[in-house]
Structure 1
Amino acid sequence: MRLVVLTAAATFALDQITKFTVVEVMDLSARHQIDVLPPWLTFRMAWNQGINFGLMSHSSDLARWALIALAVVISAWVWLWVRREPHSTIVKLSAGMLIGGAAGNVIDRIIYGAVADFLNMSVPGFQNPYSFNVADIAIFAGAIGLVIFTGREKTR
């Protein structure tokens, strides 16, 4: 379980440090966009009140707190599930990434009222309209890792 905690803590710290640097220090919330390596990488401010890609966006406090509760419940369930039986290193890393990323987005919802998304990646000829953050990457990678690698350690 130590690996899960360390991975979650590192993921959470990386997410919060990048958000603080880009949103507060680089003042992206006022500048709205910073071209880093256009079009490949642009910092584009987006306050996401919903889940991925703005799905289920609502400006109500009820929706905000419901999404916070959902993230906490899912994280707690993953924590208890991983703790219950032995798992491979990759499963523990995946669980830690998912939990750390979820915690990062929960903190955003508590502090800002929405998740701070700022990474925008496109290619020449195609402009991606969506922004995301380090926590979103960790949640996605962690969930994929849990799906792919869970159960491999069991024999038939």
Structure 2
Amino acid sequence: MPSRNLVLVNITIVVLAVFLDQAVKALVVMTMELGEAIPILPFLALLHARNTGIAFSMFADTGPLGLALLAGVVLVAVLYLWVKTPPDRKLTHFALAIVVGGAIGNLIDRLLLGYVVDYVFFHTPLFEFAVFNLADSFISVGAFLIVLDEIVLTPMRERRIKRQSASD
């Protein structure tokens, strides 16, 4: 079971992720018309968009309530995994916190608005990437960090501990 301090740190990270996500989305909605694009770099723009699906607009026909229920089920599963994660796996705890924060940020949009506010648009003259938001970034980076910790860092740590034990 995680220590009280770890739980407080994790909750703080979740709250900060949700706050940042919702603040940026509110700023986009207040200052940009739907469909308006503001070029930042030749390959990057702010583009006020609405996503009625999940990542890359998948399941857009499911409807906001169905997607909110799906997100809720996934969130419960992630929370279960989080509770089962050993306290010494600090990177995984951080990663799960930003995944949960991102999921909550998008769930708030879906429940209150019926869609998710997106605004980051990567593109080239030949290729357009999906429009996404900070919550999506939290989820993606968190998932990457979990995989990194699980597949690379933890096995390295375990090998190092075995070597140290063998040399003692």
Q: Which TM class, normalised by the smaller chain length?
A: 0.7 to 0.9
**Is 1:57 aligned to 2:60, yes or no?**
yes
CA distance in 2 between partners of 1:68 and 1:108 (Å): 10
User: Which runs of 5 or more structure 1 residues have no equivalent in the other structure?
Assistant: none
1:3 matched to which residue of 2? 9
CA deviations 1:29-81 (Å, max 9, x no partner) are: 2xx223242433211122111111111111x6xx3212111212222222222
Relative to its length, the structure with more helix (as a share) is: 2
What SS does the corresponding residue of 1:131 show, helix, strand or coil?
strand
2:112 matched to which residue of 1? 111
Counterpart residue identity of residue 101, structure 1: G
**Is 1:146 aligned to 2:152, yes or no?**
no
How is 1:1-156 mapped onto 2 (pairs within 5 angstroms)? Answer: 1-24=7-30, 26-29=31-34, 32-58=35-61, 63-87=63-87, 88-123=89-124, 125-150=125-150, 152=154, 155=158
CA deviations 1:70-118 (Å, max 9, x no partner) are: 2122222222222234241110111011100000111111121111111
CA distance in 1 between partners of 2:40 and 2:158 (Å): 47
> TM-score normalized by structure 2?
0.78
CA distance in 1 between partners of 2:146 and 2:85 (Å): 14
Identity %: 26
Q: Once the 2 structures are TM-superposed, how far is the Cα of residue 128 of structure 1 from its aligned partner?
A: 1.6
Higher relative contact order (CA 8 A, sep 6+): 1
CA RMSD of aligned residues (A): 2.1
CA contact (8 A) 1:3 1:92 kept: no
User: Which runs of 5 or more structure 2 residues have no equivalent in the other structure?
Assistant: 1-6, 160-168
